[in-house]
Amino acid sequence: MQLATRQAVEVAHAARRPSYHESVSRRSHDLLLQAAPPCPEPVRQDLHTQVILLNRRVAAGIASRYNQRGVDAEDLRQVAEMGLVKAVRRYQPDRSSGFLAYAVPTIRGEIRRYFRDSGWMVRPPRRIQELRGEVISTENDMVQQLRRFPTVTETAQEMGLSTPELDEVHGARGCFRPASLDAPAREDVSLPVGELIGAADPAYERVENYESLTPLLAALEPRDRLILGLRFVDGRTQKEIGDQIGVSQMQVSRLLNSVLGRLRDELCAD
């Protein structure tokens, strides 16, 4: 009976004991209350520093919730601390009794602004930027529930989005922080991604030129096509061409210049 009573008292006492965050919030409020005017500037700065140090753990915890979203964890922590400093400077203790109720939204807002304004290397539409974080959070929750990664359709239904909208969000992931060309192509291979990127192939340009010239060559007069074939396919000299078609070398030169000029003009016109 006595043991049960003692346990009940301990439970009740623990229930009344403020949590870590409540203690930090109240202590921060009291310190900032002391820092309010007419507190001397040196004392105010010292009190602000105490509040910042007291809440660094809270700021780091908020920053950690945004890990794995394409921004370096150390950068996130610094942004969170900037938000903490902003909250300390702007907090008005005479209008509130809990510092963290003001500081937490301020820190989160600072982190989200950083993602929005500084994180994107290629900036997609604003709506896609905002949806990206929501999609990541939703997918992480669904992984816990389903014990597998959700399909696009499942995620779209969960968020009330259309499949094309979700595809657009997924497509924007590479815009935030593109993969490094120095990263390994696969986990089991040391070859970097950059080594697998091919160079420009001159053959593609030849194919394009061939496809562009084919209809223009087909529209030429038979003698003009013959002259071009003898010169550029068979490699004949102008004199040899002239001997075959019964004209002088000078006439062959003029004919070639005329045909090539017309082809060039028609290609440029297209």
pLDDT confidence of residue 164 = 81
How far, in Å, are 22, 164, 224, 250, 264 from residue 244 at the CA level? 102, 64, 13, 14, 26
User: What is the Cα gyration radius of the chain?
Assistant: 36
Q: What CATH class has 208-269?
A: mainly alpha
Q: How far is CA 164 from the centre of its chain?
A: 18
Query: How far is it, in rounded angstroms, from Cα 116 to Cα 175?
Result: 12
pLDDT confidence of residue 11 = 44
Buried b (16+ CB within 10 A) or exposed e, 49-59: ebbbebbeebb
Query: How far is it, in rounded angstroms, from Cα 62 to Cα 139?
Result: 19
At 179-234, the pLDDT tens digits run 555 555 555 555 665 565 555 556 656 666 677 778 888 888 888 889 988 998 89
Q: Sketch the domain layout of the chain as residue ranges.
A: 2-118, 121-176, 208-269
Check if the beta carbon of residue 249 is closer than 8 Å to that of residue 231. Answer: no
The two structure tokens encoding residue 164:
């094309």
Q: 2-118 and 208-269: same fold?
A: no
At 97-151, the pLDDT tens digits run 688 888 888 898 888 777 766 655 545 566 766 677 777 778 778 877 877 778 8
Topology of 2-118 in CATH? RNA Polymerase Primary Sigma Factor (1.10.601)
DSSP 170-200: HHTHHHHSPPPTTSEEETTEEEEGGGGSPPP
- In single-letter form, the type of residue at position 259 comes to V
- In single-letter form, the type of residue at position 185 comes to A
Query: How far is it, in rounded angstroms, from Cα 227 to Cα 249?
Result: 12
- Name the DSSP class of 19: P
Q: Which of 165, 106, 164, 110 is nearest to 134 (CA)?
A: 165
Q: What CATH class has 121-176?
A: mainly alpha
Mean pLDDT value across residues 230-241: 90
Check if the beta carbon of residue 107 is closer than 8 Å to that of residue 59. Answer: yes
Q: Is the pTM of this model over 0.85?
A: no
